[in-house]
Amino acid sequence: MIKDILKGAVMGIANIIPGVSGGTMAVSMGIYDRIIHAVTHLFSEFKKSVKVLIPIFIGMLLALVLVARLIEYLFGVAPFQTNLLFIGLILGGLPAMGKKVKGAGFKVSYLIAFVVFFALVVGCASLEGSAGGDADLSLSVLNVLKLLGVGVVASATMVIPGVSGSMVLMIMGYYTPIIGMINQFVDHLAAFDLPGILADCGVLVPFGIGVVVGIFVIAKIIEIIFSKWPYVAYWAIIGLIVASPVAILMLNTFGKLTVLTVVTGIVALLAGALVAVKLGEE
């Protein structure tokens, strides 16, 4: 259970960072298939599904509450090393994906899937540069409906490996406001500020409902795709994984590079890859 909580924490951290995909982390750690099956069979296999999902969700929640500010700090003081750490975490999942397609041979459809989804991630990253300002989170019926929709879109992209939910939120102008609202909610909760908590819930509850709905819908679609075209799906995911480091490099700044920075960055890269490999072992 501890190991699954750690895996959930890695997913939670990944979903916070623009350009990094929680779905990719799940693939890297060997739990993606289990999560999709548990979500789509939650009611028919309730006990089994809950046993899979609860530790993952605990880890994600802990990461969101406890690690978000640490990650923000690390990106501020050591952006190059922190980015390479996440790139290592992503690339560490490639050996496991290689085993999935081993012996499948070559088909044009596999190459097309790889290229299309590689281009999808890089294209989304390039769009981020043209994103507008932060969205309005003031309480109104229209904004509640918008938050429901944004939650659906964000969760769908969080579930799909290689597509960064936080990056999509950034493109739509909701990333900074939502992260700020989460941190504000934690502060209000720690201070037992009931009016502040209720005001924050006016934003976070509709967003959260949208997230849950999106996860169930996209998980069912993904399950159907894997049952009908498994190798095409795996090659699409490999394309997403390979493109994710490119997206990270496009979306982030690294500050001044020195010999020490580069060396420690390489160490972080190798450490991330090792963690991904170890967490992916069953």
Tens digit of each residue's pLDDT (9 = 90 or more) over 148-195: 988 887 776 667 766 667 767 766 678 778 878 888 888 898 898 999
Q: What is the mean pLDDT of residues 196-224?
A: 88
Domain that holds residue 149: 2-280
Residues in the chain: 282
Can you give the pTM of this predicted structure? 0.64
Least confident of 100-104, 127-131, 208-212: 127-131
Domains of the chain: total: 1
